Structure 1
Amino acid sequence: MKLIKLEQPSCTPCQLVSNYLKEKGIEFEAIDVTVRPEVAAEYGVMGVPVTILLDGEGKEVKRSSGFKPNELDELIFKIENYK
């Protein structure tokens, strides 16, 4: 499983999500949508932050929009129980 986070550098909620995931010891790939808008388009993302959990084949399993600790915890639970 892989966790990606679509973000913008100046976005405060984006920074909150990053800090939250780092505090939990979760690895993720941060993708700046201002540099890579094609990734936002690929996942149908209209606003950031969006955190997406992908399976081993790169298919979306679950996503969280904004800074919602409960939703992020659900993603973390899925990652931890996948191992």
Structure 2
Amino acid sequence: MKLLKFQQPNCAPCTQVSEYLDNKNIKYEKINVWDDPEQASNYGIMSVPVVILLSSDGVEIRRSVGFKPQELNEFAEFFQQ
């Protein structure tokens, strides 16, 4: 499993998501949509923050847009199994 977090600088909700994931000790890959617009486009990112859970073969399992602790808790469960 792999977790991608799409963000941009000076985004308060993006910071909240990072702090939440860090507090849960969940490893994730940060992708700055301004620095990597091609990858953001490949995943259909229209706003940030977006967290995407990928299977081991790269298939999207779940997606969360914005800072939604309940959804992030569900993501955390995948990494606690």
TM superposition score normalised by structure 1: 0.94
Q: Distance in 1 between matches of 2:80 and 2:27?
A: 11
Q: Percent identity?
A: 51
2:64 maps to 1:64: yes
Count of matched residue positions in the alignment of Structure 1 and Structure 2: 81
- Cα RMSD of the aligned pairs, angstroms, is 0.7
Aligned position for 1:40: 40
Q: Distance in 2 between matches of 1:78 and 1:23?
A: 16
Helix, strand or coil: the match of 1:62? strand
Gaps of 5+ in 1: none
Q: Distance in 2 between matches of 1:60 and 1:66?
A: 17
Q: Which runs of 4+ in 1 moved over 2 A?
A: none
TM superposition score normalised by structure 2: 0.96
Aligned position for 2:78: 78
Gaps of 5+ in 2: none
Aligned position for 1:25: 25
